Chains A and B, each alone.
Chain A
């Protein structure tokens, strides 16, 4: 285990160096959001986008936006950044990199610090509410998804789900949002297979769940996504609106959304620094490996990804209690001993990361539309979760791949969870696999394959980025010079300045 961690650190370190030497449009927009820019133009393009684009057009982004923006603000005699963005969009402001940047730096730091203080206050507020209403009485926490596309439909569904026992509500995003290079504005009522993540939607849902938390006497957590092209901004908005968990994976966007690897690693690092500050629990996306590749053959890629996610998360300042490392129950049920294999994989994750609240994901690939068999499979999934002490359990739906869950599907699924946790919730106290038995041997085998894969990555000349380019993870090949969002990546100039990173890394 120590060896596996060392190897992950060797693979991760050059990527961190790369992330430290670059910025992206979304990182810079996140800085402006922290400094207080909000709202959008009449076409719905956020003012942060307009402002960053205007700065990029005049002086590029290699210096960061903070200095050019606050320099222009002073020159124009303004004190409102959104007004400056409006003027910039109209073409009446020019941006420059002043020779003496001390004043602009100080002003930027002051504004961004105010934004981070708002996030700090929301974190303190969460801690207070958790003390007042309490945490769920059981582990794992029960995690349930809503996704109607309409925030005003999502709210009553989420509240009903919380009353029926859900501890964590996740609002699935509209299909395609991960590839938008801006964050939509306002309350939204239309989405495809999900609801747009916007600051206003965050606020509305959090307020509704606060109401329900008080009713049910338990703090109900809210989850959304810091993934895709706007990871850093999503992290800021989540911090400002007191979301409690965010999906945030180090490689998911690269592998599954074909987002440029450098863009992803830069965005990911900044977003995790913000999450660390906001006290948000991240959920990583290892379940996705198993939905595209074989869950037995590729089990070790999950372990490798968990180790990398852990390394990058610690580097960004996240503590173990904030690491909802993902894994999933996706072995073909027709494979002999499939349940024992699942237990071996789940226990391996538990033992490798004893202090992390592991996120246990239900079967999706082998849900065939046979809802009766699906409900049985979900029961076994729930049992595996109880047996192996998982931290967060995403409730499986027997109608997976058939419809977005109906009210009755959710009710049946929650009955399933409640039955298993009620009947066997503490079984992990009694359950220890036989020494040298099938489960132990399988766990060792997977860990061994993970170590070999990490050794292969570390010994290849191009390291992790080359491994991603070669299709080591899944069969998707993702070279570092391709993929979506590459044109939004900029190397730091010597005078690059980012007040948010400075404060988050405790240098300011």
Chain B
């Protein structure tokens, strides 16, 4: 039986040790250090050791605190999106699409809103890919249209229609004022309005600050967080779009 309750690990099982750094808007003195320890205590660190304090400018102090937390985590109650599809190689993806779909799978990608950071969508779509893994453009049986940055939602809907998109991939890096959430909701609503449910392309969003469990709330089919690779996205597209067991 595996243990489901765990504590942070410093150098001994069960010691509960964590490190924490933060800034308080006060000059560095005895009282500031006491305030830092008070915050640590309120966060469940007991006892806490103040190991570093340094004043920055006139009225701010940076602290590093080490200490034992009294919280435990129950692994049985952790809620995450586990990968619920098999991870395929590029070759397998191509074979499945070719045998079962019998046409190229059309993917349209873009950064929407004012977000000009194409690094995410490019990592997934460009041949160059990321971390040694080639992007979706490299997959022979995928037809990829990368619209680039600052694409409006109507432009994206139109491109999806023209390209007969099976899937639409949207990347959002900028998160100021929750722009990534607002933009995603706007996008999913527009697709629901423009396409009948049966013909709506699969909607996939990705970005470093998304919560992967929010897909339903944002009206999309899947959210990919930081560290996602092109291969995971391709495997997901195949599992979601190409009916299993049709052939091959």
By a beta-carbon cutoff of 8 Å, the part of chain A in contact with chain B is 149, 160, 163-164, 174-176, 178-179, 192-193, 256-258, 291-294, 365, 369, 401, 404, 406-408, 411-412, 475
Contact = CB atoms under 8 A, between A and B. Distances in A.
B199 interface: no
B119 A175 contact: no
Contacts of A365: 119
A408 B23 CA distance: 7
Nearest to A159: B57
B127 A257 contact: no
Interface in B15-71: 21-23, 54, 56-57, 60, 62
A406 to B, nearest CB: 7
A404 B174 CA distance: 10
B23 A163 contact: no
A412 B21 CA distance: 12
B226 interface: yes
B56 A164 contact: yes
A474 to B, nearest CB: 9
B56 A411 contact: yes
Chain B residues touching A, range: 20 to 34
B176 interface: yes
Contacts of B21: 408
Given A164-B57, A178-B116, A408-B23, A192 B174 contact: yes
A475 B126 contact: yes
B23 A294 contact: no
B114 A175 contact: yes
A179 B150 contact: yes
B21 to A, nearest CB: 7
Contacts of A179: 116, 150
Nearest to B61: A408
Given A407-B62, A411-B54, 5 more contacts: A149-B176, A160-B56, A192-B174, A292-B118, A411-B62
B148 interface: yes
Contacts, number: 63
Contacts of A401: 208
A293 B174 contact: no
B32 to A, nearest CB: 14
B122 interface: yes
Contacts of B150: 176, 179
A484 B23 CA distance: 44
B115 interface: yes
A415 to B, nearest CB: 9
Contacts of A178: 116
Interface string B164-185: 0000000000101101000000
A294 B56 contact: no
A257 B60 CA distance: 39
A366 to B, nearest CB: 10
Given A407-B60, A411-B56, A175 B174 contact: yes
Contacts of A291: 119
Nearest to B64: A408
A407 B174 CA distance: 20
Q: Which 3 A-B pairs have the closest CB atoms?
A: A176-B114, A408-B62, A411-B56
26 contacts: A160-B57, A164-B56, A174-B114, A175-B174, A176-B116, A179-B116, A192-B115, A192-B177, A192-B179, A257-B149, A258-B149, A291-B119, A292-B118, A292-B122, A292-B126, A292-B128, A365-B119, A369-B226, A401-B208, A407-B23, A407-B62, A408-B23, A408-B56, A411-B54, A475-B126, A475-B127
A258 B151 CA distance: 12
Q: Is the interface of B mostly helix, strand, loop or mixed?
A: loop
A406 B23 contact: yes
Interface string B104-128: 0000000000111111001000111
A175 B115 contact: yes
B62 A175 contact: no
Nearest to A148: B176
Given A294-B128, A408-B56, A175 B116 contact: yes
Contacts of B176: 149, 192-193, 404
Contacts of A160: 56-57
A163 B128 contact: no
A258 B22 CA distance: 41
A149 B116 CA distance: 16
Nearest to B132: A332
B128 A293 contact: yes
A176 B119 CA distance: 15
Nearest to A228: B116
- Residue of B22, B119, B126, B176 with most partner-chain A CB within 10 A: B176
A471 to B, nearest CB: 11
A207 B121 CA distance: 40
Nearest to B127: A475
Contacts of A407: 23, 56-57, 60, 62
A475 B23 CA distance: 43
A412 B56 CA distance: 10
Nearest to A160: B57
A297 B126 CA distance: 16
A382 B146 CA distance: 36
A175 B23 CA distance: 28
A412 B208 CA distance: 23
Contacts of B60: 407-408
A149 B176 CA distance: 10
Contacts of A292: 118-119, 122, 126, 128
A414 to B, nearest CB: 9
Contacts of B22: 408
A178 B149 CA distance: 12
Interface string B199-243: 000000000100000000000000000100000000000000000
B112 to A, nearest CB: 12
A293 B179 CA distance: 27
A403 to B, nearest CB: 9
Contacts of A256: 118
Contacts of A258: 148-149
